[in-house]
Amino acid sequence: MYRPPMRFRALLLTAILIWHFPESAHAQATLLPRLEALGFENLALEGGGETLTLWYENRRYFLEIEAMGRVLAEASRDLEANQVIAVVPQRDRIPLMIVRMSVGDLREFLAGDMTPDSFRKRLAIEPPPAQRPEHRLNPSLYRTDLDLTPGYFFSVEFKGWVNGTVRTPIANGLAATARGRYYLVPWGETGVTFAQIQGHNWLLPGVMGSWVAGRWSETNYGAHGEIASQLDEGNWIWRLSGGAGSGMAPLAATSLERRFHPLDVVLSGGVGLFQGGDRAVFARFIRWFPRSAVEGSVWRSDLGTQLRMGLSIYLGPNPLPKPGPLRVFAPGLFMTDYRASSPPSASMPFPEADVDRIWQRLTPSYVRAHVEDWRSHRSMGSKP
């Protein structure tokens, strides 16, 4: 009896599967390469019944909510309307959450046929999964990012510089980072401002820990950690931080903040023990914008009352996807901090551990408030 060659039988089986399940098979075969071409990393696809779970990590878009919209638009393009899609955003391969919805609801919402309030009610946002894929396409490990950012400082004299920040993920939730500074005014002075190991992971559902250890400055070495808890889907955030370093007293602080979405206003207050044993209480106001943030705060410490104002602006466009071991982003993020009313007080070594650098605003309450941002990608989310 004639038996066709193995290669022919494999092709025949593939053709039969695509004929029976054309859209699902096509989506699973092409989705990850399409997302890789867009610059997403640590990609994995898991299918179970009617649910397709997609893992991804974003270093392509400044806003995580924008990246999620792009991923959802691509993922829903060739799927059946009755399928369920779940996306799992990651940071250094640590999952942040699961966002789940039906493809039909997503298409209807992107097309403008479903109101944002109705869509939010059908959107499920869950804690990150305990089980993680073993293999992920386009891994971020040992891939170095170089951020070039301008800066200045004005006190008795003006100083202007360009910072070069290098960051390399070396394990799940672990990265090596360092910053060098090249002075433009006065010309030519250079130096390494910090070199540290950074880590983060979930401690409990809704509770994440972040830490840094290494060199803070030319004379100080130490470690700092923060625990942050999301309450009411991230509408409330409670923080507890502490650390110690060479030649300085122990550091400790706690705060509670309320986030008002979709206004993206953050009000917080706290108390702490800062550098030099300086004790302080503070109240802070933050307003987020798509590519910037403004901050105002009042600090009452042992050194007196201090007013602070801050501004951060993301100056450049979204980074282009660049394969290879080194990616250069310029001009990057510009930040300035103005302090008045007393000598420098209530300060922490930089960079201290900060869970917000991991979440990147991406709490469940933020996602629900900003689903309308996904409509900017609706042309890609419609079925051909």
163 found inside a domain: no
Given a cut of 70, whether residue 22 has pLDDT beyond it is: no
Q: CA-to-CA distance for 311 and 58, rounded, in angstroms?
A: 24
* Matching residue, tokens 């070199």: 195
State the pTM of this model.
Answer: 0.88
Q: Note whether 138 and 132 are within 8 A (CB).
A: no
151 found inside a domain: no
Q: Binning pLDDT at 50, 70 and 90, where does residue 345 land? A: confident
Q: Are residues 38 and 94 in the same domain?
A: yes
Q: CA-to-CA distance for 349 and 284, rounded, in angstroms?
A: 19
Q: Note whether 224 and 356 are within 8 A (CB).
A: no
* Matching residue, tokens 């070039």: 148
| Sign of the torsion angle spanned by Cα atoms 201, 203, 207, 210 | negative
Nearest to 66 by CA among 363, 328, 372: 372
29-46 core/surface letters (b: 16 or more CB in 10 A; e: else): eebbebbbebbbbbbbbe
Q: Are residues 209 and 83 in the same domain?
A: no
Q: Note whether 253 and 271 are within 8 A (CB).
A: yes
Domain extent, residue 16, equals: 6-138+368-381
26 found inside a domain: yes
223 found inside a domain: yes
11 found inside a domain: yes
Q: Are residues 101 and 249 in the same domain?
A: no
Q: Are residues 332 and 375 in the same domain?
A: no
How much is the pLDDT for 381? Answer: 40
Q: Are residues 52 and 125 in the same domain?
A: yes
Q: Note whether 151 and 161 are within 8 A (CB).
A: yes
Q: Are residues 350 and 373 in the same domain?
A: no
Given a cut of 90, whether residue 187 has pLDDT beyond it is: no
Q: Are residues 278 and 225 in the same domain?
A: yes
Mean pLDDT of the chain: 88
Q: Are residues 305 and 372 in the same domain?
A: no
Q: Note whether 24 and 83 are within 8 A (CB).
A: yes
Given a cut of 70, whether residue 11 has pLDDT beyond it is: no
Q: Which of 71-75, 110-114, 195-199, 347-351 has the lowest mean pLDDT?
A: 347-351
Q: Which residues contact 157 (CB under 8 A, 6 or more apart)?
A: none
Average of per-residue pLDDT across 160-176 = 94
Q: Based on the number of CB atoms within 10 Å of its own CB, is 134 exposed (0-12), middle (13-18) or buried (19 or more)? A: exposed
**What total number of domains does the chain contain?**
2
Q: Are residues 331 and 374 in the same domain?
A: no
Q: Are residues 272 and 323 in the same domain?
A: yes
Share of the chain above pLDDT 90, in %: 64
Q: Are residues 227 and 252 in the same domain?
A: yes
How much is the pLDDT for 156? Answer: 62
Peptide bond into 364 cis (omega under 30): no
How much is the pLDDT for 316? Answer: 84
Per-residue pLDDT tens over the stretch 353-382: 999 999 989 999 999 999 999 987 654 444
Q: What's the token pair of residue 374?
A: 């996904």
Residue 163, CA distances (Å) to 5, 179, 184, 310, 334 in order? 61, 7, 11, 18, 10
Q: Binning pLDDT at 50, 70 and 90, where does residue 154 land? A: low
| Sign of the torsion angle spanned by Cα atoms 359, 362, 366, 368 | negative
38 found inside a domain: yes
Given a cut of 60, whether residue 21 has pLDDT beyond it is: no
Q: Which residues does residue 99 pair with via DSSP β-bridges, in sequence order?
A: 87, 125
Q: Note whether 162 and 187 are within 8 A (CB).
A: no
Q: Are residues 324 and 377 in the same domain?
A: no
Given a cut of 50, whether residue 9 has pLDDT beyond it is: no
Highest-confidence range of 187-191, 276-280, 284-288, 335-339, by mean pLDDT? 284-288
